[in-house]
A = this chain, B = another copy of it.
Amino acid sequence: MAEDAAFGRVTTRSNDPGSNSPDTMAPLSPPNAAYKALVHHTRQTALLSSTLDLLGWDERTYMPPAGGPHRAEQSAFLAGLIHQRQTAPEVGAWLEELAESDLAADPYSDAGCNIARLRHDFEKQSRLPQRLVEELARAASLGEQVWQEARKSDDFSQFQPLLERTIALKREQAQAYGYEDSPYDPLLDDFEPGETTANITRVLAELRDRLAPLVAKIAESPRAPKQGILSREWPTAAQERFGKMAAGEVGFDFSAGRLDTTAHPFCGGGGPRDVRLTTRYQAHDFADAFFSTLHEAGHGLYEQGLPAEHFGLPIGEALSLGIHESQSRMWENLVGRSSAFWRHMLPKLRAEFPQAAGDLSAEAFYFAVNESRPSLIRTESDEATYNLHIIVRFELEQALLNGDLKGADLPEAWNQKYRDYLGVASPTDADGCLQDVHWSAGLLGYFPTYTLGNLYACQFMEQARRDLGDLDAQFESGEFGPLLDWLRTNVHAHGRRYTAGELVERVSGGPLSCEPLMRHLETKFGALYGF
């Protein structure tokens, strides 16, 4: 006989949501009832948030197609419960009571950090009227559908009304949040807490001006990698094994994580010891799957490195999108696209892909995975040109928000900036200003965190090299543990204790800067392209 099914209204297996006693949490000294209650409440909300994350992961990996409408209802309801709990009046009361307490005195202590960040988040959230929250959610949900259609039919006019509506709502959101200098500030703060528009405008403008001559020198170089290496036949089952092996070698813990297949790679999960990478495989494209895997593994290493005992509290949470991206770019680019990495990996590559890789040298493969040329699509661009794609978007979304750019004029402005910064222009809007989902989903202020990630990564890497000696020699012999341990100690362990700016200053000894990134790019591409 076959085994049993798991149906039924088993009424006796429910637990009291109040029974997750705060007494079992990390000890607090001095005890403070308000703080205990705040911590307990926040951790319970995080149980819902991590459940919502899992629903999202499932939706993008295994959910059957017809499950979509019900999943949307489940997710919206959970998101609403989470928002209600985050902005509940008792949270405000606890925070009020704690404001002047000893626990809050040192914002760099565990409790002080938790209180400060939760107050910041609570106050920001509470400034949004419920109506605006709902309208933003509706616009985002609708927006992704409209965007998909508009992109598919290469028709900006379908997208324009939604874009204008979204910009108006984001302006209203910025007003509701409040700001001093720029309406972009409080939106950026949602993704990169504590960062300012003025600061990154300055750094990104310098970066833009310094990237232009680099890109020109690459374009003028007579050198090029051997063509067609990456589009050989790379059997997908072997790609999956090789990617898993590499993610495991750099330290991703598969007993606390997975790797699955999806349409648009992401890193998600269900909890502190449940981190899920995704990628996608095509037989004639080695790079897409492999570097997506390493990129997401970088995100996953950060999640696995956060202090699990503080899960759900700021001190146990990822700091910002920029810092998250610094970890993914670190492993994808600074490790995974290094010459030393491929000197280590080449024998394994040949063993896994005897046909495709049998004739390759480490140096030829290294050049192939670092080919640089100005292109139209951000997600397919290389290390040297990538940040110019971001700077285009950063400048345009500010202009849209400020009213300096009208929605109708976006396609022309987009192409002008691409011509100016990259020397290319898209014949279609589908591969132009319609290529990214972000604006349709209401994500304004998100794009610069990609470049912040690249900047932070290089700032961290220079310090890691100072602290750890010859990292290339370590990579070449397959030793990735020292770098990971260094990141665990210097970045992961701190959760949201510092702002990103403070963390970078603490770790690298200086403020946000494009020097380390430029040094990295000039050295690397100078060697490859001979200048």
Q: A12-B173, A64-B257 are in contact. List 15 more A-B contacts (CB 8 A).
A: A2-B265, A2-B291, A2-B379, A6-B266, A6-B267, A9-B190, A12-B128, A13-B140, A16-B80, A18-B80, A44-B77, A54-B54, A64-B273, A70-B273, A70-B311
Q: How close is A328's CB to chain B, nearest CB, in angstroms?
A: 6
B residues less than 8 Å from A47 (CB atoms): 73-74, 77-78
Q: Is the CB of B64 within 8 A of A296?
A: no
Residue on B nearest A177 in the bound complex, by CB: B11
B residues less than 8 Å from A191 (CB atoms): 8
Chain A positions 29-86 with a Cβ under 8 Å from a chain B Cβ? 44, 47-48, 50-51, 54-56, 58, 62-67, 69-71, 73-74, 76-84
Q: Is the CB of B12 within 8 A of A442?
A: yes
Contact of A318 with B7 at beta-carbon distance under 8 Å, contacts A73-B20, A256-B67 already known: yes
Cα(A275)–Cα(B191), bound, Å: 36
B residues less than 8 Å from A133 (CB atoms): 12, 14, 16
Q: Is the CB of B273 within 8 A of A66?
A: yes
B residues less than 8 Å from A54 (CB atoms): 54-55, 58
Chain A positions 109-165 with a Cβ under 8 Å from a chain B Cβ? 121, 124-125, 128, 130, 133-134, 136-137, 140-141
Residue A100 lies at the interface, judged by CB distance under 8 Å to chain B: no
Chain A: interface size category: 35 or more
Residue A380 lies at the interface, judged by CB distance under 8 Å to chain B: yes
Residue A270 lies at the interface, judged by CB distance under 8 Å to chain B: yes
Number of copies of this protein chain within its complex: 2
Q: How close is A264's CB to chain B, nearest CB, in angstroms?
A: 5
Residue A171 lies at the interface, judged by CB distance under 8 Å to chain B: no
Residue A1 lies at the interface, judged by CB distance under 8 Å to chain B: yes
- Top-6 shortest CB links A-B: A70-B271, A67-B274, A2-B295, A17-B80, A15-B76, A14-B83
Cα(A67)–Cα(B53), bound, Å: 14
Q: Is the CB of A325 within 8 A of B73?
A: no
Residue A475 lies at the interface, judged by CB distance under 8 Å to chain B: no
Residue A443 lies at the interface, judged by CB distance under 8 Å to chain B: yes
Which of the residues B5, B62, B65, B450 comes within 8 Å of A328, measured between beta carbons? B5
Residue A299 lies at the interface, judged by CB distance under 8 Å to chain B: yes
Cα(A257)–Cα(B67), bound, Å: 8
Q: Is the CB of A58 within 8 A of B58?
A: yes
Q: Is the CB of A274 within 8 A of B16?
A: no
Residue A294 lies at the interface, judged by CB distance under 8 Å to chain B: yes
Chain A positions 428-450 with a Cβ under 8 Å from a chain B Cβ? 441-443, 446, 450
Chain A positions 244-296 with a Cβ under 8 Å from a chain B Cβ? 253-258, 260, 264-268, 270-275, 288, 291-292, 294-296
Residue A321 lies at the interface, judged by CB distance under 8 Å to chain B: yes
Residue A381 lies at the interface, judged by CB distance under 8 Å to chain B: yes
Residue A4 lies at the interface, judged by CB distance under 8 Å to chain B: yes
Cα(A275)–Cα(B6), bound, Å: 12
B residues less than 8 Å from A134 (CB atoms): 15-16, 19
Q: Is the CB of B66 within 8 A of A51?
A: no
Residue on B nearest A449 in the bound complex, by CB: B8
B residues less than 8 Å from A26 (CB atoms): none
